[in-house]
Amino acid sequence: MLALAGCEAPRPRLVVFDGETMGTTYTIKIVGTGADDGALRQTRQAIATVLQGVDDLMTTYRPSEVTAFNEHRSLDPMAVSESTRAVVELALDLARATRGALDITVAPLVDAYGFGATTPGDLSAIEALAAIIGFQNLTINASGALVKRHPGLRIDLSALAKGYGVDRVAEALERQGYQDFMVEVGGEVRARGHSESGQTWRIGIERPDAARGTVQRIVPLSDLSLATSGDYRNFRLVDGRRLSHIIDPRTARPIEHRIASATVIHPSCATADGLATAMMVLGEEALELAELNGWAVMLIIRDNGGFVERQSTTFAQLLASALATSS
């Protein structure tokens, strides 16, 4: 950047950082900062470090804290980082709040159905696996260590890790004084302040078609997160049947219903991410539970070759007030 003596350096209007993390991509947009090149380089590095840190702790694809816990075939408590504990704690809270629909102990089933780090397992062993699965078999003790109630218990944090990464990046940006930004990891988003056009950030919810990139609905998002879970992209074909990567822990089977995607808006992106996955599991029950808890949920449901949309009351209210106040 050229800075002439006595002149103020030009203010970059929009800075975009992108890259790969957690088996997907990320994009971070920061607007109207007066930060110089050096400060922006540091910010870029800080973002990469935060995301790498979350991935390094929670991946199931290489040695990590989660894989160490999964290989820890003992009922003795295992101490973990504050980050891993925080994600497990949130996951257990959401498991209770969603009648067990979100359950990070489904890891052995995720692997058996071929969506994990290992080659697909023997599906005839599913019945046996079901005995060790259940969030009640996992606790956090008084010192914050993780405790298994069954030595074979394993966890998979994929349903919340991306959202958690988004939250951590957003917090880091806030600490550095940035006020207008959008953080996105693998489709989970958190936005604060305004976009480069001076308006509230507008986030598109994808239409769950095979064709990518068609927008079903645009949501103005201010100081909130939005996460979507769907079964239209990540699935395996087995004997001509579609196997979803989302498992219903209560039946030990991949979900099979008409909901193509579930979107949740919440201040915390980790919560939005976890709840979106839970809504996919709950199927027809999802809206009932959303109403009971005041969650902002939007479902896109397959209907006669097309799609219909359903919104919880809180979602509809958020959307209406965002549309009314967004400038």
Q: Which residues bind Mg ion (CB under 5 A)?
A: 159, 229, 273, 276-277
Q: Which does 297 bind (CB under 5 to 8 A by kind): Mg ion, ligand ADP, none?
A: none
For residue 49, give Cα distances in angstroms to 70, 82, 240: 24, 16, 42
31 vs 95, which CB is nearer to Mg ion? 95
CB-based contact 98:285 (threshold 8 Å):
no
**Where along the sequence are the contacts to ligand ADP (CB under 6 A)?**
102-104, 106, 110, 115, 156, 158-159, 186, 229, 234, 245-247, 249, 273, 277, 281
263 vs 277, which CB is nearer to ligand ADP? 277
Q: Which does 100 bind (CB under 5 to 8 A by kind): Mg ion, ligand ADP, none?
A: none
32 vs 254, which CB is nearer to ligand ADP? 254
Record the tokens describing residue 8, joined without a space: 């103020």
Shortest Å, Cβ 216 to Mg ion: 18
Q: Which does 98 bind (CB under 5 to 8 A by kind): ligand ADP, Mg ion, none?
A: none
31 vs 160, which CB is nearer to ligand ADP? 160
Q: Closest Cα to residue 231, out of 262, 201, 192?
A: 262
Give the number of other Cβ atoms within 10 Å of residue 90's Cβ.
21
Shortest Å, Cβ 39 to ligand ADP: 32
Shortest Å, Cβ 132 to ligand ADP: 15
Q: Closest Cα to residue 15, out of 147, 123, 173?
A: 173
Residue type, 38: G
Q: Which does 221 bind (CB under 5 to 8 A by kind): ligand ADP, Mg ion, none?
A: none
As a whole number of angstroms, the distance between CA 327 and CA 323 comes to 8
What is the biggest distance separating any 2 CA atoms in the chain, rounded to whole angstroms?
75
Shortest Å, Cβ 176 to Mg ion: 27
Give the number of other Cβ atoms within 10 Å of residue 17's Cβ.
17
208 vs 220, which CB is nearer to ligand ADP? 208
Q: Which does 249 bind (CB under 5 to 8 A by kind): Mg ion, ligand ADP, none?
A: ligand ADP
Shortest Å, Cβ 121 to ligand ADP: 14
Record the tokens describing residue 147, joined without a space: 């405790």
Q: Closest Cα to residue 170, out of 91, 86, 87, 269?
A: 269
Shortest Å, Cβ 277 to Mg ion: 4
As a whole number of angstroms, the distance between CA 244 and CA 38 comes to 45
Give the number of other Cβ atoms within 10 Å of residue 176's Cβ.
14
35 vs 281, which CB is nearer to ligand ADP? 281
